[in-house]
Amino acid sequence: EVQLLESGGGLVQPGGSLRLSCAGSGFTFSNYAMSWVRQAPGKGLEWVSAINGGSSVIYYADTVKGRFTISRDNSKNTLYLQMNSLRAEDTAVYYCAKDQGVAGSSKRTFDYWGQGTLVTVSS
Amino acid sequence: EIVLTQSPATLSLSPGERATLSCRASQSVSTYLTWYQQKPGQAPRLLIYDASNRATGIPARFSGSGSGTDFTLSISSLETEDFAVYYCQQRTNWPLTFGGGTKVEIK
């Protein structure tokens, strides 16, 4: 059974940093691209960042480019999101999501999602 | 950036009725359009990919259609568990974008 478990959320002051983690199990983690998607309270979904299985291809939304860094450690089956220079508008539930495509063929469609971790940016 | 516009924002229907949700793209996305369902307090769930393909385990009452810029998600006969928010997402271009969502509520 595919499982994704996020951690690392919490309350942080504006300008602060936080690192989110997402532990994957039940599938060959290194074979799949992964993404972070966020959802502000009461709002819709916003894609944040994506990384391919080998970490050679990375994309970011313009709203986080230069402040957030996505990475992964395939030996630990874990996806990360380093978030720096946080702003109030970054407050959201952050989901990690598994790409539907197999073995290097990203479909940019998400077939499994974690339960999310809440990041609150406030003084 | 491709903008996806979903309509209506809210759909009030009774169980057993048919639901028709729309997603319009600001430019052609071919058939690279995905639908997700999200219930309160839960993560989104994949329903339909590539415009018309049901994901694993999705009931046949859910169907998707469309190509280019206009897409439709239909629920043939609403069950109580189908009352939720539905999002479309395009995978044609980066950045990936989602529509604003359609809430299907019980009338």
CB contact under 8 A, A109 and B34: yes
Band the pLDDT of A106: cuts 50, 70, 90.
confident
Alpha-carbon distance of B24 to B90, in angstroms, equals 10
Tell me if residue A61 falls in helix, strand or coil. Answer: coil
What pLDDT is attached to residue B14?
97
What pLDDT is attached to residue A102?
80
Report residue B34 as tokens. 């995905």
Nearest-CA residue of chain A relative to B54? Answer: A111
Q: Which residues pair with B26 in a beta bridge?
A: none
CA B27 to chain centre: 18
State the nearest Cα–Cα gap between A114 and chain B, in angstroms: 7
Band the pLDDT of A105: cuts 50, 70, 90.
confident
Beta-carbon neighbour count of residue A38 at 10 Å? Answer: 23
* Chain segment A42-101, per-residue pLDDT in tens: 999 999 999 999 999 999 999 999 999 999 999 999 999 999 999 999 999 999 999 999
Alpha-carbon distance of A3 to A5, in angstroms, equals 7
Q: Which residues pair with B45 in a beta bridge?
A: B37
Based on the number of CB atoms within 10 Å of its own CB, is B52 exposed (0-12), middle (13-18) or buried (19 or more)? middle
CB contact under 8 A, B98 and A44: yes
* Chain segment B57-104, per-residue pLDDT in tens: 999 999 999 999 999 999 999 999 999 999 999 999 999 999 999 999
Say if A24 is an interface residue toward chain B (CB within 8 Å): no
**Do A95 and A113 form a contact (C-beta atoms < 8 A)?**
yes
* Chain segment A2-35, per-residue pLDDT in tens: 999 999 999 999 999 999 999 999 999 999 999 9
Vertex A42: Cα angle to B92 and B11 (nearest 5)? 75
Nearest-CA residue of chain B relative to A49? Answer: B95
Say if B58 is an interface residue toward chain A (CB within 8 Å): no
Which of A109, A113, A118 to substitute to test the interface with B, most B CBs within 10 Å? A109
* Chain segment B16-68, per-residue pLDDT in tens: 999 999 999 999 999 999 999 999 999 999 999 999 999 999 999 999 999 99
Vertex A97: Cα angle to A121 and A44 (nearest 5)? 55
Tell me if residue A88 falls in helix, strand or coil. Answer: helix
Among B96, B23, B98, B27, CA closest to B66 = B23
Give the A:B interface size as CB pairs under 8 Å.
57
Beta-carbon neighbour count of residue B12 at 10 Å? Answer: 12
